Amino acid sequence: MLIFNNIDKTFQVKQRSVDALKNISLELNDGEFMVVNGPSGCGKTTLLLIAGSLLRPTSGEVSIDGQDPYKMSQTERNQLRSNAIGFVFQQFHLIPYLSVRENILSPALASVNHTGNDRTEQLAEHFGLTERLDHYPRQLSMGEKQRTALARALYNKPRVILADEPTGNLDDDNADIIFSYLKEYTRDGGSVLLVSHDRKAAQYGTRVLKMKKGELVNN
Amino acid sequence: MQRLISGWKLIKNEIGYRRTNFILSVISVFIAISALIASIMVLRIHDRHTNQILQNKQEQLQSRMDSLQNETRKAMLELGFNILILPENQDVSDWYTKDYGDTYMPEQYVDKLAGSGLLIVRHFLPILQSRMEWEEKDMEILLIGTRGEVPNLDKPPREPMVDPVPEGTVKLGYQLHQKFNLSQGDAINLKGKKFVVNECYNERGNKDDISAWIHLDEAQQLVHREGVINAIMALECLCQGKVELSELRDKISEVLPGTQVIERGSRALARAEARLKLKKRAEQAIKSEKEHREELREVRENITSALIPVIFIACGIWIAFLGLMNSRARREEIGILRAMGVPVKKILHVFLSKYFIIGILGGIAGFLGGLLSGFIFSRFLEGSFIWIDPGIAFLLWLIVLSIAGAALLSVIAGWIPALTAARQDPAEILHGE
């Protein structure tokens, strides 16, 4: 599903080169729940953004469903993200002026064909948000916010979920709920690449990688 | 029920969510458009007021001139003929010393003059004037033959200044009827021809007191000068202003070659000249007022043409600043939308549509505010409330100008913030969390 082949990423910071990723190669298969653990600043988010076709690597190749997103046009890359990838972030990034229902529906803005309200209702029910559909993000708890973000990520039925510290703002119970949902998603054939410094995440992963100073240390 | 999400939903909800930013942007557009419309209205009201002022002054002048013209006309009628047309070879000093002429011109000249289309003279009176011995009474008298006024064929008929003398009758000056104790209806003989006294004049203190008026044909027979006259008396029409004597002479000479024109000064002439001076002064005053109003307009136009761009630029900068603040506040939203695959074009469209809405609302409010403030400003500038009916076409033009100008201002001012927002790198935004 997702293949990294010798990926390097170097940032230029004040005329100084900073190697964020060094020679990263990995393969995420369908139904796999991959957890990348590592301390803050080790390059986890950079890895996730490259996987999400949002950040072009300095060198190496990325393949999503057999296609290199960085060899596509911007429009094709947008389509790829819309159809194949779902994102979940620590800060949720819910749109504050849209209701839960509209936030879950928001990926539809990127696609011509979308499944509409039925899908929203299904996801809301699945994530225990049915009573909250007409509420706004400010009216939700942290756990509800992250469940809304997860429902949004799943709206377009993506092949892979890229999750960046999804439980960073949650208590243990809510974190367990989120991990469980992600685990459930992989059981249905989806793939999850989750980066976190939370060691608890490793309990849910089918594969756990450790990252240090931009390198995978136990690939 | 199928509930869908759309760009319009994003715009509408975002406006409600960040309404302060939106309202401030609308107010900025409102201020700019109000200023523009108000300045247009102020200038238009100024023009209308100028027209009113000048029209009032013109009407006052016309009324005064009409009154003076009437007075002049009356004075002219009271004071008698002021133009004397004599044969060219008549010695004028002889005319004055002897009170009659010894040169002649054809009697038809008077008809020619009356039919000439010359409008500056009227009331033509042909006369044959001669000193003769009234043998029956052993007295020298002034015999004046006239057939009454010949009407000007190119002017509406007016009441004659002198009545014609019927044939077989005579009108006697004061000395003549007093000396011989004659009265109306008495019969007298002049060179053997019998005349009935038609009228006895009161004392005038001039040559008229020793004059006898008879019909022109009979006078011509008495002095053996058939078909000729020695003077045409006329009245120069001063109603349309004084014509230079040389011009008057030229015009009459064109019609009656071989004649000379003598103008006799009169109070009517002085009055006409005074009227002309008054007219010139009044016209000068109107001209000065017009120039003053034009200068005032130029000043106002200069102020507005300097102020409006400044206001537009200031409002544009303010809208852009609010837009940048807005796009900064929406960084996360833009980041996640881009991550979800929403194209840059769509985000740009959402932002620009919002600025378009700001423009439309600000334009409509600015149009109404501008109309109102235009009237209010003009109330102070002009010193009184001036109502003008702008007319449907002008109002439509103002509405189109307001809305198009506002939309343009808003979209141009919002272009950079919108582009900045749409082009934000989602990786940078999401990485930065």
- Give me the residue from B339, B346, B433 closest to A54, CB to CB: B339
Q: How many domains does chain B have?
A: 2
Identify the residue with better confidence: B112 or B121: B112
Residue B154 belongs to some domain of the structure? yes
Do B327 and B413 have their domain in common?
Answer: yes
How far is A45 from chain B, CA to nearest CA, in Å? 6
Tens digits of per-residue pLDDT, B210-254? 899 999 999 999 888 999 999 988 776 655 555 566 677 788 888
Whether the pTM exceeds 0.90: the reply is no
| Cβ under 8 Å to B: A residues 39-68 | 45-46, 49, 52, 54-55
C-alpha–C-alpha distance, residues B17 and A138, integer Å: 12
B2 band by pLDDT with thresholds 50, 70 and 90:
very low
For chain A, say whether B8 makes contact (Cβ under 8 Å).
no
**Residues 6 or more apart from B67 whose CB is under 8 A from it?**
none
C-alpha–C-alpha distance, residues B163 and B42, integer Å: 63
Residue of A nearest to B14 (CA): A97
Q: How many domains does chain A have?
A: 1
Do B259 and B405 have their domain in common?
Answer: no
Task: Please give the angle made by the CA atoms of A150, A156 and A160, to the nearest 5 degrees.
Answer: 65
Look up the domain containing A153 and give its range.
Answer: 2-218
Q: Is residue B160 pLDDT above 60, yes or no?
A: no
Element (H, E) at B83: strand B83-87
pLDDT of residue B81: 66
Do B253 and B348 have their domain in common?
Answer: no
pLDDT of residue A69: 93
Tens digits of per-residue pLDDT, B281-296? 888 888 999 999 999 9
Do B53 and B186 have their domain in common?
Answer: no
pLDDT of residue B379: 87
Do B228 and B318 have their domain in common?
Answer: no
CATH number assigned to the domain comprising residue A76:
3.40.50.300
Mean pLDDT of B109-121: 79
How far is A173 from chain B, CA to nearest CA, in Å? 24
How far is B348 from chain A, CA to nearest CA, in Å? 13
- pLDDT less than 50: residues of chain A: none
pLDDT of residue A210: 92
* Mutation site for A-interface testing, chosen from B340, B345, B431 by largest number of A Cβ within 10 Å: B340
Residue B340 belongs to some domain of the structure? yes
- Residues of A with CB below 8 A from B17's CB? 96-97
Residue B77 belongs to some domain of the structure? no
Tens digits of per-residue pLDDT, B47-93? 989 998 999 999 988 888 888 777 766 665 555 667 788 998 888 88
Do B60 and B109 have their domain in common?
Answer: no
- Give me the residue from A97, A101, A102 closest to B17, CB to CB: A97
Mean pLDDT of B110-126: 79
Residue of A nearest to B9 (CA): A98
Identify the residue with better confidence: A49 or B274: A49
Residue B358 belongs to some domain of the structure? yes
Cα-to-chain-centroid distance, residue B375: 27
C-alpha–C-alpha distance, residues B158 and A86, integer Å: 107
Do B291 and B426 have their domain in common?
Answer: yes
Highest mean pLDDT among B78-82, B201-205, B307-311, B393-397: B307-311
Residue B269 belongs to some domain of the structure? no
Do B114 and B258 have their domain in common?
Answer: yes
pLDDT of residue B3: 43
Tens digits of per-residue pLDDT, B362-372? 999 999 999 99
Do B321 and B399 have their domain in common?
Answer: yes
C-alpha–C-alpha distance, residues A61 and B287, integer Å: 86
- Give me the residue from A45, A81, A105 closest to B431, CB to CB: A45
Domain boundary among B230, B264, B298: B264
Q: What average pLDDT does chain B have?
A: 85
B380 band by pLDDT with thresholds 50, 70 and 90:
confident
Strands (E), chain A: 2-13, 16-28, 33-37, 59-64, 85-89, 160-164, 191-196, 207-212, 215-216
Tens digits of per-residue pLDDT, A78-107? 999 998 999 999 888 999 999 999 999 999
- Residues of B with CB below 8 A from A81's CB? 339-341
Cα-to-chain-centroid distance, residue B400: 35
B94 band by pLDDT with thresholds 50, 70 and 90:
confident
Query: Chains A and B: how many Cβ contacts under 8 Å?
Result: 101
Which residue type, as a one-letter code, is found at position B21? N
Residue B103 belongs to some domain of the structure? yes
- Residues of B with CB below 8 A from A96's CB? 17, 333
* Nearest C-alpha neighbor of A35 from the set A137, A213, A186: A186
pLDDT of residue B238: 58
Mean pLDDT of B151-173: 74
For residues B125 and B232, the answer to whether their CB atoms sit within 8 Å is yes
State the residue for tokens 């976190």: A196
- Tell me which of A82-96, B129-143, B270-284, B325-339 is least confident: B270-284
For residues A88 and A155, the answer to whether their CB atoms sit within 8 Å is no
Do B387 and B332 have their domain in common?
Answer: yes
For chain A, say whether B341 makes contact (Cβ under 8 Å).
yes
State the residue for tokens 């979800």: B340
B74-104 in b/e burial notation, b at 16+ Cβ within 10 A?
ebbeebebbbbbbbeebeeeebeeebbbeeb
pLDDT of residue B268: 56
Residue B74 belongs to some domain of the structure? no
Domain boundary among B264, B298, B332: B264
CB atoms within 10 A of CB B305: 10
* Mutation site for A-interface testing, chosen from B5, B19, B348 by largest number of A Cβ within 10 Å: B5
For residue A102, give Cα distances in angstroms to A126, A155, B10, B312: 16, 11, 9, 38
Look up the domain containing B154 and give its range.
Answer: 83-264
For residues A17 and A66, the answer to whether their CB atoms sit within 8 Å is no
State the residue for tokens 């190119």: B154
Do B361 and B314 have their domain in common?
Answer: yes
Residue of B nearest to A153 (CA): B340
> Is B333–A96 a contact, with Cβ atoms under 8 angstroms apart?
yes
